[in-house]
DNA sequence: CTAAAAGGCTGACCCAGCGTCAGGGTCAAG
DNA sequence: CTTGACCCTGACGCTGGGTCAGCCTTTTAG
């Protein structure tokens, strides 16, 4: 006869595990001796080993009892289903491995390489770091929404950077960063920006942004910029009056703080 | 500005998930509006997406915060460690798959094919089903203790079954099953069994059992037989007096019930 | 204008498979 | 008699949220 520790040792499990199986009804509670200790016979060892054989093969505890009592064909069916589950879990982990590998390849975040390339280039061209950061966050939103389109747009935008007008826009925005909401110089900046946008607008500017972006996402992108750059909201308002802002894909609204957006 | 539902929708998670992240300190609690609703800005969406990017790659929540704030080299180190963990989890599941495949190949339990072959043969030779069952359980214990040795022993024993003496022993034991502890016919049976054992003992019988089995396991095997067959204990006692039982690897003790075995 | 649907709030319990105290009692040996 | 190794029950902890329950607020439809 065995105490619980002896039983556990024979089956290669912990005492806690045996008690857990009792509590779950997996292993029947044995008789107790005069002081309340559980007393096991050899069949308990056999039964416990049978249980462990199944759990060691990935069978969930909740199904062990049924499997031990099952006939050959239900057993085979259950095993097939468990094998299916195991394959699924392996697949999930392999996808995870691919993703974390992708994380170190990107900048450690949710960005495709095209976007990190674009951001590098903006920095190299002397664009203000605050603007680069806003771009960065904006691309995270875009990439989360539609990764492959974001990658294509980023590649396209990076190529346009070499051509002049776009980088001028960024420089103008950089100057606006340090101006207060009511600074009189904003008007002049708006003129310059309008000129840049005019020159941009020729060919593929429209394909950059503004198509395929639903209003909720567009509003989100706007508020991202407005939150970080106080003068941006007013600047956009000025641009709109010049009839340009609608072509940048920026919504901008009426230039006043938005009400909360509810639901999805 | 967004409510919690809007935030969740933008990041593709449930509202419950967002609140969970707040509770874990993963995502900072935002301001509340006049009625206690949480109000989020666009940066919260960005941050939530960054969190999801990591969790979707298998990073445990407890490590997400540290990883988001980490520099590139610690990030790379952490990612390497997480990848290691994922590989480990995949390995575990692949071992599980092999094992459940082995389960259907065996008899659905912890037995190697050699043992199931032996049991089949015993049945085919007309050995009492109760004895087959005791053998079955005994092999489970042996296989749990040292699988490869058990397989070898079983193969050896199966081969010996064709040669006569061993199967006679089993038949004798089968008759003993239905006798009470004090039946006078037990003495005659003991004589017949002693003769079988004598003939068995020549060559490799000693290699079957009795070597490499530690006392605790031997006692367990004994009590397995004694519990199922009431006359077995007395029979072994008689055999011992004839000086044979020691060669079967059966301990048998003094023929009286054992005291509990404690510890391991 | 009003009622209903849709969201939001907190708090609490639930899943697996045990690990790990806490706060005792029991047993064998020195 | 003490010490150390076991045993007992009961309860909380971990992961990553799901799912009520009970109540309040906002939006929408009639």
CB contact A163 to B (< 8 Å): no
Chain A residues closer than 8 Å to B220 by CB: 2, 10, 42, 45
Sign of CA dihedral A255, A259, A263, B2: positive
pLDDT for A245 beyond 60: no
* Interface touch A227/B12, C-beta < 8 Å: no
Alpha carbon of A205: minimum distance to chain B alpha carbons (Å): 25
One DSSP character per residue, A114-159 reads HHHHHHHHHHHTT--HHHHHHHHHHHHHHHHH-HHHHHHHHHHHHH
Say what the pLDDT of residue A101 is.
86
Say what the pLDDT of residue A253 is.
47
Q: Where are the alpha helices (DSSP H) in B25-71?
A: 42-55, 61-68
CB contact A56 to B (< 8 Å): yes
* Interface touch A100/B82, C-beta < 8 Å: yes
CB contact A207 to B (< 8 Å): no
Q: Where are the alpha helices (DSSP H) in chain A?
A: 4-11, 15-24, 42-55, 61-68, 72-105, 113-124, 129-145, 147-160, 165-176, 185-200, 205-208, 215-228, 230-241
pLDDT for A255 beyond 90: no
pLDDT band at A168 (very low <50, low <70, confident <90, very high): confident
Query: Nearest residue on chain B to A93, judged by CA atoms?
Result: B86
B139-197: pLDDT as tens digits: 999 988 888 888 888 888 888 887 777 788 788 777 877 777 777 777 787 787 777 76
Q: Does nucleic acid strand C have an atom less than 7 angstroms from the CB of A32?
A: no
Say what the pLDDT of residue A111 is.
82
Contacts of A258 (CB under 8 A, 6+ apart): A219, A223, B1
Count Cβ atoms within 10 A of the Cβ of residue B146 and give its class: 0-12 exposed, 13-18 middle, 19 or more buried: middle
Residue pair B173/B259 in contact (Cβ under 8 Å)? The answer is: no
Closest nucleotide relative to residue B13's CA, C1' based: D17
Output residues with Cβ under 7 Å from nucleic strand D: A 3-6, 15, 19, 36-38, 259-260, 262; B 14, 16-17, 20, 33-37, 55, 60-62, 262-264
Q: Nearest CA to the C1' of C26 belongs to which residue?
A: A35
- Which among B188, B165, B174, B204 is positioned nearest to B239, based on CA atoms? B188
Cα B39 to Cα A223, A245, B20, B32, B98, distances in angstroms: 13, 28, 16, 6, 51
Beta bridge partners of B139: none
Q: Structural domain boundaries of chain A?
A: 1-69, 70-105, 110-248
* Interface touch A46/B2, C-beta < 8 Å: no
pLDDT band at A167 (very low <50, low <70, confident <90, very high): confident
CB contact A213 to B (< 8 Å): no
pLDDT band at A44 (very low <50, low <70, confident <90, very high): very high
Q: Does nucleic acid strand C have an atom less than 7 angstroms from the CB of A20?
A: yes
Closest nucleotide relative to residue B3's CA, C1' based: C8
pLDDT for A207 beyond 80: no
pLDDT for A250 beyond 70: no
Q: Which residue would you say has higher pLDDT here, A197 or A157?
A: A157
* Residue listed under structure tokens 């750059």: A229
A211-230: pLDDT as tens digits: 667 777 888 888 888 887 77
Q: Where are the alpha helices (DSSP H) in B25-146?
A: 42-55, 61-68, 72-105, 113-124, 129-145
pLDDT band at A206 (very low <50, low <70, confident <90, very high): very low
Q: Which residues of A46-62 are buried (b: 16+ CB within 10 A; e: fewer)?
A: bbbbbbbbbbebbbeee
Q: Which residue would you say has higher pLDDT here, A46 or A151?
A: A46
Q: Which residue would you say has higher pLDDT here, A203 or B10?
A: B10
Closest nucleotide relative to residue A9's CA, C1' based: D6
Comparing CB atoms, the residue among A46, A108, A140 nearest residue B46 is A140
Q: Which residue would you say has higher pLDDT here, A33 or A166?
A: A33
Chain D: nucleotides below 7 Å from protein CB are 5-9, 14-19, 24-27
CATH number of A1-69: 1.10.1660.10
Say what the pLDDT of residue B206 is.
45
- Which among B51, B56, B83, B45 is positioned nearest to B67, based on CA atoms? B51
* Interface touch B5/A104, C-beta < 8 Å: no
Chain A residues closer than 8 Å to B30 by CB: none
Say what the pLDDT of residue A215 is.
74
Residue pair A193/A169 in contact (Cβ under 8 Å)? The answer is: yes
Residue pair A121/A158 in contact (Cβ under 8 Å)? The answer is: yes
Residue pair A183/B51 in contact (Cβ under 8 Å)? The answer is: no
Say what the pLDDT of residue B19 is.
96
Query: Nearest residue on chain A to B220, judged by CA atoms?
Result: A42
pLDDT for A92 beyond 70: yes
Say what the pLDDT of residue A96 is.
92
Instruction: Tokens for A218, please give them.
Output: 């567009």
User: Mean pLDDT of residues grouped by 10 in chain B (264 residues)?
Assistant: 95 96 95 96 94 92 91 88 92 91 72 87 89 91 87 85 77 78 76 73 48 77 81 74 52 56 62
Specify the long-range contacts of residues B213-219, CB closer than 8 Å, at least 24 apart.
B213/B142, B213/B249, B215/B251, B216/A6, B216/A10, B216/B261, B217/A10, B217/B141, B217/B142, B217/B145, B218/B249, B218/B250, B218/B251, B219/B251, B219/B253, B219/B258, B219/B261
- Which among A172, A178, A222, A236 is positioned nearest to A199, based on CA atoms? A172
């Amino acid at each position: 006869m065995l105490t619980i520790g002896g039983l556990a040792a024979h089956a290669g499990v912990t005492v806690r595990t045996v008690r857990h199986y009792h509590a779950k009804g997996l292993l029947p509670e044995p008789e107790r001796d005069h002081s309340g200790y559980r007393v096991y016979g050899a069949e308990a060892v056999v039964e416990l080993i049978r249980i462990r054989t199944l759990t060691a093969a990935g069978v969930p505890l909740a199904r062990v009892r049924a499997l031990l009592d099952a006939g050959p064909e239900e057993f085979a069916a259950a095993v097939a289903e468990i094998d299916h589950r195991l394959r699924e879990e392996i697949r999930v982990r392999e996808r995870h491995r691919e993703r974390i590998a992708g994380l170190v390849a990107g900048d450690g975040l949710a960005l495709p390489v095209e976007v990190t390339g674009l951001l590098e280039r903006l920095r190299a061209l002397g664009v203000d770091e605050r603007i680069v950061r806003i771009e960065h966050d904006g691309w995270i939103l875009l990439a989360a929404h539609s990764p492959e389109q974001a990658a294509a747009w980023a590649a396209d935008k990076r190529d346009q950077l070499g051509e002049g007008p776009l980088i001028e826009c960024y420089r103008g925005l950089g100057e606006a960063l340090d101006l207060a909401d009511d600074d009189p110089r904003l008007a002049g900046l708006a003129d310059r920006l309008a000129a840049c946008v005019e020159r941009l607008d020729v060919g593929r500017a429209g394909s950059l942004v503004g198509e395929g972006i639903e209003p909720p996402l567009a509003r989100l992108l706007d508020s991202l910029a407005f939150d970080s750059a106080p003068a941006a909201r007013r600047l956009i308002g000025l641009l709109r009056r010049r009839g340009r802002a609608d072509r940048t894909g920026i919504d901008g609204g009426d230039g006043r703080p938005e009400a909360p957006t509810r639901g999805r």
